[in-house]
Amino acid sequence: MRARPFMQVDVFPDRPFCGNPVAVVLDAFGLQDSEMQAIARWTNLSETTFVLAPDTPGADYRLRIFTPASELPFAGHPTLGSAYAVAQAGIATPCDGRLVQQCASGLVSIRFEPSGDRVWLQVPAARTTPLSEPHRRRLAAALEIDCGDDVCAIDVGPIWITVRAASAQAVLAIRPDQASIAALSRELEVTGVTVFGEYPDGDARYEVRSFAPACDVPEDPVCGSGNGCVAAMLARGGDRRPYLARQGRAIGRDGVVAARFDEDGIEIGGAATIRVRGEIFA
């Protein structure tokens, strides 16, 4: 056991102590899988990450990402928060404003705005599978909303069942049946359920909520991969306009996520701020 540099970074906050924190162990050399999982259970955040030396050409660092229950191949807010921590700690220096992260899903490009106001990531290419009618009925009952026909499991590393609700207010009003969502998630081997609905006006176009009780995360405060799935569903329907989404309002953790589309795919971005800096003994 030794002292290892550690940071906790708020990602996507719209004010201090909001958004979604990620715990970042900046030197994970020598830690076993079971030790990483134990640390992730102990921090009790939606994700804890572990920085390692890359072993793939073109990568600046390697990242492993754990929920309190399991390891993920990729996740959005941990990627953004960890990239910010890596840059702030001097572990890797952005080249032309970019870092390349190696994770189980492959290489992920992270872009830093010159102002430092936002960090962006390139969402891995999405793979979409429609849900069957029986599964849609079970989902509608678990969320107590009309899910409609366009409900898909979208794979961007984590796999989110993604559903569009009638409105942003309908999203905020959801009181999910967590046990039913957990059972459906395990049956379909997905991370959880992401729901979004549109605002009639205002700075943000969508309200988003993400539920992952099968990963011991009943509600992810602000979910980068879930928002990536929302953007993928919109693009699949032909809507490639840039937008802002809000997430976390239902649990007092207000966050703002930006989405944009280009010839390379989808970028998700937001603010990142260090809240804790020190050492963890592991």
pLDDT at residue 147 in the model: 84
pLDDT at residue 117 in the model: 73
The stretches of the chain forming alpha helices (DSSP H) are: 33-43, 76-89, 133-143, 168-172, 178-188, 224-236
Residue pointed to by tokens 């703002």? 256
From 47, 207, 219, 267, the catalytic residue: 47
Q: What secondary structure does DSSP assign to 36-47, as a single string?
A: HHHHHHHH-SS-
Alpha-carbon torsion angle 68, 227, 168, 190, nearest 10? -50
Q: What is the pTM of this model?
A: 0.92
Which token pair is 162?
């993604």
Distances, alpha carbon 44 to alpha carbons 218, 222, 280, in Å: 12, 15, 15
What type of residue is 268?
Answer: I
Sketch out the chain's domains with CATH numbers: 3-123+269-281 (3.10.310.10), 127-251 (3.10.310.10)
Angle at CA of residue 124, ends 225 and 135, nearest 5°: 55
- DSSP 8-class letter at 115: T
272 vs 282: CA distance, rounded Å: 25
pLDDT at residue 115 in the model: 81
Whether 47 is catalytic is: yes
Closest of 122, 82, 103 to residue 272, by C-alpha: 82
The per-residue pLDDT string of the chain (282 residues; one tens digit each, 9 = 90 and over) reads: 899 999 999 999 989 999 999 999 999 999 999 999 999 999 999 999 999 999 999 999 999 999 999 999 999 999 999 999 999 999 999 999 999 999 999 999 999 998 877 899 999 999 999 999 999 999 999 999 988 778 999 999 999 999 999 999 999 999 999 999 999 999 999 999 999 999 999 999 999 999 999 999 999 999 999 999 999 999 999 999 999 999 999 999 999 999 999 988 999 999 999 999 999 999
pLDDT at residue 159 in the model: 96
29 vs 122: CA distance, rounded Å: 27
pLDDT at residue 250 in the model: 96
pLDDT at residue 279 in the model: 98
For residue 261, count other CB atoms closer than 10 A to its CB: 17
pLDDT at residue 150 in the model: 80
Element (H, E) at 154: strand 151-155
pLDDT at residue 104 in the model: 93
